[in-house]
Structure 1
Amino acid sequence: MHPPLIVVVLKGYPRLSETFIAQELLGLEKAGLQLSLISMRRPTDARRHPVHDEIRAPVLYLPEYLHEEPVRVAKAWWKARRLPGYKAALKAFLRDLPRDVSRNRLRRFGQACVLSAEWPEGGAWLHAHFIHTPAAVARYTALMTGTPFTCSAHAKDIWTSPDWELADKLAESRWTVTCTKTGHDHLQSLAAEPQRVHLSYHGLDLDRFGPFQGQRTLKDGSNAADPVIIASVGRAVPKKGYDILLKALAALPADIHWRFEHVGGGTETKRLKALAESLGLSERITWHGALAQEEVLALYRRADLFALACRITPDGDRDGLPNVIVEASSQRLPVVATDISGVPELLTDGQNGYLTPSENPDAFAEALIRAIRDPHRRAHFGLAAEARVRSAFDYHASIRQLKTLFETEWQTHP
């Protein structure tokens, strides 16, 4: 049986910060599945990862804001309203609107109209990456077109969405996958049929992140001419906890010599640079901005430690298992991190990494001190973390699982 064309709804494409999604899309294509990509936003990153250039699927960009393309939206609505499922989609939208009175809700319905009207030829399945706004567009589109839909849920989208909306989407989707046990348990608790929620770690393309063949140094921070390199990769946004990390760096003893290198863009960059200046750290920090994947890999290989102080923000936003921690671990780079969400599913404190509570700069500083001053122990942790990644986080396993889920549905509901 020739596989149906899967129409994949994405919040934005391509995105440097979402390599795990691009990796999955390419993996599904290599597994023989046919994809058509739908992006709710145009790209904002000036650069691309090599994986984006290997994906063959065409991309359709929906109007990010309805008022920017009024003629396109009006034509789409006129066409969509004649679809057999339009009334069911409108009924669902009108049921959702009083619980979420916002322009965003109207925008998702409008985008669904555009997608339904400009439906990719041969499209027979809908899959949403993220269970918040992309799944809203997918759900309304599925109702309008009569197309089955499925969903991949991740982190922020789970924890910042109201339970009523998650429950509705879980009930209407054929299945949902998510990438951490904490997210999996939460979604199962809301699902009428918990068995349709599956745990699927993203894993890593270990062909792109092959074993590091070089020798890691045994720096202990005692040489001012050859300081310990502490690396971090992540967007400068509140949930990444970079203010905590900077305060921890400021608390390191004067006899420890270090440099910090950060990779990533983000709205908090200016504020973090100001904080670093106020803490007297600026001369020891390099802010690289966004880098391509091969440049990030080079940083992993020349650094001595990787650090990420993720937190849960007041609105519930958080990471799942940050892919950068998996990447760093694949290169034998020891990791100091906070023990939230899915991080303990990869790293165990005192066995293959250094984990601390979130929101605690002093504890994070102590972990950094232990890692820096005992290079043999951190080297042992790096080896153990790499072994864990290569045995349990190979993305080919996730691709096989997703392909099986799709094919089982197609055979059950041809």
Structure 2
Amino acid sequence: MALNSLRVGYVLKRYPRFSETFIVNEILAHERAGLSLAIFALGPVMESHFQPDIGAVKAPVIRMTDKQRNVEQFWNLVNEGMKALPNFAARLEEEREQNVHELAQAIGLALEVRQRQLQHLHAHFGTQAATVARLAAKFSEVSWSFTAHAKDIYYRYETDIQLARKIREASHVVTVSDYNLAWLCERYGGDRRKVSRLYNGLDLRQFPWLSPHRRPAHILGVGRLVAKKGFRVLIAALARLQAKAIPFRCTLIGDGSEREALEAAVIAGELQEKVTFTGILPRQEVAAIIQESAMVVAPCVISEDGDRDGLPTVLVEAMALGTPVISTQVAGIPELVINGQTGLCVTPGSDSELAEAMAMLLSGQDLREKLARQARKTIVRDYDADRNSGRLREIFTLKQK
């Protein structure tokens, strides 16, 4: 099928979300290539901050009713399905155990698919979005796929999210690291012929490289302030640097449930003069701070509930911009941060190793330059949004043949 005749629906739990820049990057790359898209948001917007690139997206956003609060409205939706969707009664009977809210969204989405003449649905994350996309594709007789990221793979949910079933029934599954790919195939029976690794990409024109050779002793952490990001380990490592009288300052950009605990740890470590919390900042401002820093540190850990980062976008952005990175051996991170080649990669949870790595980069300008140059080559080769979204469009198109 020719690209100019393919019409795809993107199914997302919420849109837009401040932290999900990788989805916006992907959508914009599709639109640059001429793909016709519609975006379906299953839940209300919950944030007050948005990245400016949202304004460049041309695709219409259809906001689905998130909860069923009226029995009559639900039955009207079912009746519409009976009239418009093929073999709907039998297919609905097969899915009668589904959550009523997600079932209703799937019926509504299937009706939109038929009305808008969409040929394929793609969901991000294997949770609610994939549930609704699977059902809607079944009801409307179109193909569907989804991208699995991190929490949807590793978090121990109270109820089964039926990931194995979704992998089995999807036309194709994409995930963002080789580590994830192996996990999905080994734990959930994924068929390697229909599960692909595709790294999240950047529009590299927006991330010009700048040498890190002469920069102040500034350590930067960027991300949601939650357990899996490992910022408690970073603060403990900073205390080690201070004890050795190594000059530095540190900025933490982001917000989240751990902020109060992290601020308390800074006070307990007598680091108030060295560590600054900024809260959430626009992407352009974050990029400017990244290029003014000696390093970006992402001390990721596996949290108690099993959640972990798949491959943090901030590492990709920092490496594209020319800032050396330090991270940990969690999930797919070592695929990107190859220790001693594209960055420094330490044991998760080890504040002593992290402190040693930070000290190396603070004192080693030549090392910073070497790591940053090799990192940029890796980003250009593997993380270009236009190239990677092209592979995704090939997957969408192949499912129509």
Please say whether Structure 1 and Structure 2 have the same fold, judged by a TM-score greater than 0.5.
yes
CA contact (8 A) 2:212 2:323 kept: no
CA contact (8 A) 1:131 1:157 kept: yes
3-state SS of paired residue (2:245): coil
Amino acid paired to 1:159: Y
CA shift digits 1:313-358 (9 cap, x unpaired):
2322111111110100112211111111111111211222111111
Q: Which residue of 2 aligns with 1:222?
A: none
**Identity between Structure 1 and Structure 2 (%):** 30
3-state SS of paired residue (1:195): coil
Q: Does the alignment pair 1:188 with 2:182? A: no
Q: Which residue of 1 aligns with 2:80?
A: 79
Q: Which residue of 2 aligns with 1:92?
A: 95
CA contact (8 A) 1:86 1:144 kept: no
Distance 1:263 1:76 in 2: 44
Distance 2:204 2:134 in 1: 34
Q: Does the alignment pair 1:115 with 2:99? A: no
Q: Which residue of 2 aligns with 1:310?
A: 300
3-state SS of paired residue (2:163): helix
Q: Name the CA shift for 1:409/1:390 in 2 (closer, same or farther; >3 Å).
A: same
Aligned residue among 140, 145, 150 for 2:140: 145
3-state SS of paired residue (1:32): coil
Q: Which residue of 2 aligns with 1:342?
A: 332
Regions of 4+ moved over 4 Å? 69-74, 117-120, 161-164
**Residues 150-229 of structure 1: pairs in structure 2 closer than 5 A:** 150-160=145-155, 165-189=162-186, 190-191=188-189, 193-212=191-210, 216-217=213-214, 219=216, 228-229=217-218
**How far apart are 1:277 and its partner, in Å?**
2.1
CA contact (8 A) 2:178 2:197 kept: yes
Distance 1:358 1:255 in 2: 24
Q: Which residue of 1 aligns with 2:248?
A: 258
CA contact (8 A) 2:25 2:201 kept: no
3-state SS of paired residue (2:379): helix
Amino acid paired to 2:288: A
Distance 2:72 2:234 in 1: 48
Amino acid paired to 2:332: G
Distance 2:244 2:17 in 1: 39
Q: Name the CA shift for 1:242/1:192 in 2 (closer, same or farther; >3 Å).
A: closer
Q: Which residue of 2 aligns with 1:398?
A: 388
Q: Name the CA shift for 1:379/1:169 in 2 (closer, same or farther; >3 Å).
A: same
Q: Which runs of 5+ in 1 are unaligned?
A: 98-104, 220-227
Distance 1:361 1:401 in 2: 39
RMSD in angstroms over aligned alpha carbons?
2.3
TM-score, normalisation: structure 2: 0.90
Aligned residue among 58, 66, 72 for 1:56: 58
CA contact (8 A) 2:236 2:351 kept: yes
Q: Does the alignment pair 1:245 with 2:246? A: no
CA contact (8 A) 2:212 2:369 kept: no
Q: Does the alignment pair 1:361 with 2:351? A: yes
Q: Which residue of 2 aligns with 1:379?
A: 369
Q: Name the CA shift for 1:385/1:273 in 2 (closer, same or farther; >3 Å).
A: same
**How far apart are 1:172 and its partner, in Å?**
1.0
Q: Which residue of 2 aligns with 1:25?
A: 27
CA shift digits 1:357-392 (9 cap, x unpaired):
112122211211222122322222122212221232
3-state SS of paired residue (1:123): coil
Q: Which moved more, 1:283-292 or 1:236-245?
A: 283-292
CA contact (8 A) 1:85 1:146 kept: no
Q: Does the alignment pair 1:12 with 2:14? A: yes
Q: Which moved more, 1:398-407 or 1:83-92?
A: 83-92
CA contact (8 A) 1:86 1:143 kept: no
- The one of the two structures with greater contact order (alpha-carbon pairs below 8 A, sep at least 6) is 2
Q: Name the CA shift for 1:71/1:328 in 2 (closer, same or farther; >3 Å).
A: farther
CA shift digits 1:115-171 (9 cap, x unpaired):
234555222221111112210111121222222211111111122378882221111
CA contact (8 A) 2:7 2:120 kept: yes
Q: Which runs of 5+ in 2 are unaligned?
A: none
3-state SS of paired residue (1:283): coil
Q: Which moved more, 1:269-278 or 1:126-135?
A: 269-278
CA contact (8 A) 2:184 2:190 kept: no
Q: Does the alignment pair 1:231 with 2:220? A: yes
* Number of aligned positions between the proteins: 392
Distance 1:268 1:323 in 2: 20
Distance 1:261 1:86 in 2: 57
Q: Does the alignment pair 1:284 with 2:274? A: yes
3-state SS of paired residue (2:91): helix
Q: Name the CA shift for 1:196/1:89 in 2 (closer, same or farther; >3 Å).
A: farther
Distance 2:304 2:14 in 1: 25
Amino acid paired to 1:128: A
Q: Which residue of 2 aligns with 1:293?
A: 283
Q: Name the CA shift for 1:86/1:345 in 2 (closer, same or farther; >3 Å).
A: farther
3-state SS of paired residue (1:176): strand
